[in-house]
Amino acid sequence: MAIDVSGLSIFSDDHFMKQALKEAQKAFESDEVPVGAIIVANNQIIARAHNQTQLLHDVTAHAEIIAITSATNFLNAKYLPDCTLYVTVEPCVMCAGALFWSQIGRVVYGADDEKRGFMRFGKEILHPKTKVEYGVLHKECSELMTNFFKEKR
């Protein structure tokens, strides 16, 4: 019996979140809070980033902010309506504000951040056209954060 795979794509949310996890691992190895982000346009990764607040001595050097800057430079455009951000942890309010201004089309995150995540204030903090998905590779994303902070204690 043949299985029709014509509608399937290797470019799934899981596939791209695994790429964001690779970025988060880089942060972990650099003693940064292990958050990784990528931005995708037309199934192509156009930006990769991870937290660099310690390295750059910059509290705004979150993975999402660095990824937005990289993506807008790549596209030579101010807005990202046809792009998807994959990020291992729910963005904070600062990053959600930047995502609002970038008019990103879609945000996909893995682990919740109950203390600092933007969803404490609701999806309305993002641009009205931005779609949100969450829980993609939740276990893997959560474990990386848990392991990082376990080592710190």
Active site residues: 64
Rounded distance between C-alpha atoms, residue 38 and residue 47, angstroms: 5
C-alpha closest to that of 98 among 145, 64, 133, 144: 64
Token pair 């710190």 is found at 152
149/121 Cα distance (integer angstroms): 25
Q: Is 47 helix (H, G, I), strand (E, B) or coil?
A: strand
- Residues forming beta bridges with residue 121, ordered by sequence position: none
Rounded CA-CA distance 117/140 in Å is: 18
